[in-house]
Structure 1
Amino acid sequence: MDATSPLTPESAQQRGGATSSSAAGPRRAHQKSRLGCKTCKSRKIKCDEQKPACGNCIRHHVQCDFVETSAAPSRSPSTSFLDLNMDQLELLHNYTTSTYATLSESPVIRDFYRITVVQIGLECDYVMRSLLAVSSLQLAYYRPHMREHYRSTAVHHHEIASRIAGNLMQDLNASTVEKLFLFSTLTVFYAFGCPRRDDQLHLVGESDIPNWFFLHQGTRALSELASTRLDGALAPIFQHGIDRWQAREVSRQTVSPVHQHLDRLQTSIERSEPDAALRNTYINAISELRKSFLSMECGRGQAYEVTDIFIWVFVVGDDFVPLLRVPTQSAVTILAFFCVLLRGLKSQWWLNGWADYLMAKSYALLDREHRLWIQWPMEEIGYIP
């Protein structure tokens, strides 16, 4: 037989070979597939092992597992971070390394903002978004070349947080009041850090008074509910407030030029205000200002800080602060004296320019007579109309 002649069934039988009864033509030898895809193996068909998808899977329009398995080796440690939201991680890193330290002069309260607030934020979306918004505003302040990016990011996070928290405010309970208190507190810092433009949310109505005055009213109400649990997560911040309050209430014999100016202001208001209820409200606000100025001047060996400033806002919140919405001439005049307290704080990014800004707004709202009443606070902060 010619070596090149085809092998027929008859010749194979003559040579002692056996063939399948179903064989109808020549059988083509092939190497067994050992690395085929799972789909081909399950169908018991030969896989051409082409990647990222074999020919059989492409023809039958099915998912080839080569697509999944081939993707994993191509990922390197240098690119695996792409699954993370780097913008949010940047804001959280900035908050825990920088922002927290600008929110208080007290080491204990700084640790509270750095540790406790972040821990609660990891469990509560709107608290986390609130602190990210504050962090983003700080970066906007220090990175002017990326200011619009960070400001828009801050607004985005805070708007989402506000929608969630706003719905929960309608039905306060023990499980939400602490988180809502933190949201409100962080929102005050957010309002401070927002751009001071007339079209921004920090202005209320036509009074040109920043809304952190009014935000403190909500925070005050929440604090009264949350502070009933002095052994809870918020215990450090409430204890700190109590300590600063008690230091403020200590009777002191110190007399300074500030009190002489406040005395003259009180006398002027008593003579010009015919309404007894309003007169008492103004006198009480001035009396509380005296305590605040004494805290700033005496300090009892402790750093004067933001808590000392806003105790005044808390105390006069129910009666006096609503008059700033109107606003009345006497209320705006008292606010001008408050600007001196703001200037007395250690400068932080979120406080920068606020004393001058509020004084300018106060001056613009006052008539000629009341502008004469605020000459002393204008001189103290160096404001020139």
Structure 2
Amino acid sequence: MDVNNCDESKPSCGHCSRFSSPCSFSEELPDKSSTANNKVTSPLSPKSPSSLVVSGGFENSFFLSPEYTTLPVALGETHHGIGNQAFGVMDLELFHFFLTETCLTISECPDRQRLWQHVIPQIAFTHHFLLRGILSFAALHLAHIQPERRESLWAEASSHYDVGVRLFHTEVLDITPFNCDACFAFSSLLAAHAWPFSHQTSDLFFSTLPPAEQEFSTTWASLLRGVHTLLDTAWDWIANGPLGPLLETHTMYPAIVRKADPEISAKLTGLSQLWDPPPSRYNPADIEALSEALVLIQEACGILNSSTSERPLSAISLALTWPTCVSATFLELVDRLEPEALIILAHYSLILNQVDGVWFMHGMSRQLLQTVHERIGKVWESWIAWPLQDLALSELNNHMDDDIVHNILPFP
């Protein structure tokens, strides 16, 4: 049918009636009254130009490089059988915002920023759960920047997040060289979502579930550790692929650790007297877990005290790495509310204070210390006085009013 000669008559246009040819408008053309208020969708095949139908029934066509799949038009991508809703102008705004703003906040390292800005969005075109994660994370970031739009942006974030997680759960059951990069990137975004999605109120390390259900815990720390569980399967594939530079192996840096501020180092070393001699309720594995967790904090403080050019890890990486490097035994001690483990956990805030300006980690240190203070008991309060004071100084340096700090912080 020549669309230039079509009069859109129903059930068959005049042009097709005259030539007795099938009319593409006979069944497929939607009623104009319905398109005024609904998004029209159509499944797109890979490597074809995409036509996005936005609210109001207006079409905006754009093209991507032929080697990448077009943006998906279905809510859950029709080949997965989840919903059928078009993307709109808001989604294009979010994608643009991610490419120009959000991606630059995920890391302080320019090389890694380039991966989040260029490589990972390209991967998302062929793994739509990752695209959903990108749009959701961008919506949260934009809501942080533009609080007057918070309600609508949170709705967008939640919608994309829900679909992305459902699709991801299907993919992650079968990690392959084809989907491992997308799963790794999405799981990283999943962990970054946890804190802002909780309205900065969730317990970062403490599960609120009953003990019998804690294996299904979705605390911030458990999500971070989940990323590394995925890497146990896919490390070699990812290391040899485009996202290889995002991988980090934990290595001790004795020379840098020795650069830690002597006063800070002495204070941290002094914590070891908490389990020397070992309390009778602890076995050797418990003592080893406490010692290792403390050494990791000493190492991080040494790195943070070194010059930026010498740092093998950025402040963001250090803050995100510590919860994944401590042993499962240490986290079990935290779950049991053992005071020695809680005291070490409180000192992890020394690292979190360094990244409090990062939008998806802002307020973590305060929440962690308040939670520990509530659970540790009066007898042990003096052991966390230093982390509390460090948080107060950090917030004062960020121009927080002195009276507010002293009224809110639970000093012993």
Q: TM-score range by the shorter chain?
A: 0.7 to 0.9
Aligned residue among 312, 315, 331 for 2:325 = 315
For residues 84 and 116 of structure 1, do their structure 2 counterparts lie closer, same or farther at Cα, with a shift above 3 Å needed?
A: same
1:178 aligns with 2:181: yes
3-state SS of paired residue (1:204): coil
Q: Secondary structure at the residue paired with 1:228?
A: helix
Q: Which residue of 1 aligns with 2:295?
A: 287
Contact 1:305 1:346 in 2 (8 A): no
- The answer to whether the Cα contact below 8 Å between 1:337 and 1:374 also exists between their aligned partners in 2 is yes
On the 8 A contact 1:202/1:211 being kept in 2, the answer is: yes
TM-aligned CA distance change 1:269 to 1:112, over 3 Å: same
- Contact 1:118–1:128 (Cα < 8 Å) also in 2: yes
CA distance in 2, matches of 1:330, 1:289: 14
Distance verdict in 2 for CA 1:283–1:252, change over 3 Å: closer
The residue aligned with 1:269 is 275
Deviation at 1:89, TM superposition (A): 0.8
**Could you tell me which residue of structure 1 aligns to residue 363 of structure 2?**
353
Give yes or no for contact 1:39–1:64 (8 Å, CA) kept in 2: no
The change in CA–CA distance for 1:294 and 1:172 in structure 2 (over 3 A counts) is same
247 and 271 in structure 1: CA distance in 2 versus 1, 3 angstrom threshold: closer
**Do the aligned residues in 1 keep the contact of 2:204 with 2:368 (CA within 8 Å)?**
no
2:42 is matched with: none
Stretch deviating more after TM superposition (122-131 or 322-331): 322-331
Q: 2:140 aligns with which of 131, 137, 141?
A: 137
More contact order relative to length (CA 8 Å, sep ≥ 6): 1
- Matches for 1:190-269 after TM superposition, within 5 Å: 190-196=193-199, 204-205=207-208, 211-229=219-237, 230-238=239-247, 241-242=248-249, 245-246=250-251, 248=253, 250=255, 252-254=257-259, 255-269=261-275
Structure 1 residue 160 and structure 2 residue 168: aligned?
A: no
Q: Which has the larger radius of gyration?
A: 1
The one-letter amino acid of 2:360's match is: W
Aligned residue for 1:379? Answer: 389
- Mean Cα deviation higher: 326-335 or 348-357: 326-335
Q: How far off its partner does 1:203 sit?
A: 6.9
Change (3 A) 1:356 1:67: closer
Residues 317 and 145 (structure 1), Cα distance of their counterparts in 2 relative to 1, 3 Å cut: farther
Report if aligned partners of 1:336, 1:358 keep a CA contact under 8 Å in 2. Answer: yes
Which letter does structure 1 place at the counterpart of 2:169?
G
Structure-2 separation of matches of 1:373 and 1:200: 21
Aligned-residue offset at 1:213: 0.7
Contact residue 140 and residue 151 of structure 1 kept, 8 A: yes
- The number of aligned residues is 325
Structure 1 SS opposite 2:193: helix
Pairing 1:335–2:338 present = no
Determine the structure 2 residue equivalent to 1:93: 96
Q: Tell me: CA distance 1:228–1:148, structure 2 relative to 1, closer, same or farther (3 Å).
A: same
Q: Pairwise CA RMSD of aligned residues?
A: 3.6
Distance 1:226 1:171, change over 3 A: closer
Give secondary structure in 2 for the equivalent of 1:205. coil
Change (3 A) 1:210 1:326: farther
Offset, 1:106: 0.3
Q: Is the 8 A contact 2:184 2:227 kept in 1?
A: yes
Preserved contact between residue 95 and residue 131 of structure 1 (Cα < 8 Å): yes
TM-score, length of structure 2 as denominator length: 0.69
Distance 2:169 2:292 in 1: 32
Gaps of 5+ in 1: 1-34, 44-61, 72-77
Which amino acid in the other structure matches residue 324 of structure 1? V
Say if 1:336 and 1:362, in contact at 8 Å, map to a contact too.
yes
Paired residue type of 1:253: R
Pick from 348, 366, 370: which aligns with 2:380?
A: 370
- Structure 1 length as normaliser, TM-score? 0.74
Matches of 1:98 and 1:246 in 2, distance apart? 31
Instruction: Name the SS of the counterpart of 1:311 in structure 2.
Output: helix
Structure 2 SS opposite 1:374: helix
Distance change >3 Å, CA 194–CA 272, structure 1 → 2: farther
**Contact 1:39/1:65, CA 8 A, preserved across alignment:** no
Deviation at 1:199, TM superposition (A): 7.4
Deviations for 1:162-208, whole angstroms, at most 9, x for unmatched residues? 12222333333333332211111111111132233657999732599
Which residue of structure 2 lines up, in the alignment, with residue 52 of structure 1? Answer: none
- Bigger shift: residues 102-111 or 375-384: 375-384
* Gaps in structure 2 of 5+ consecutive residues: 1-6, 8-12, 36-56, 62-85, 393-404
Alignment counterpart, residue 15 of structure 2, candidates 22, 38, 60: 38
Asked if 1 retains the 8 angstrom alpha-carbon contact of 2:257 and 2:298, the reply is: no
Give the Cα–Cα distance (whole angstroms) in 1 for the partners of residues 377 and 308 of structure 2: 39
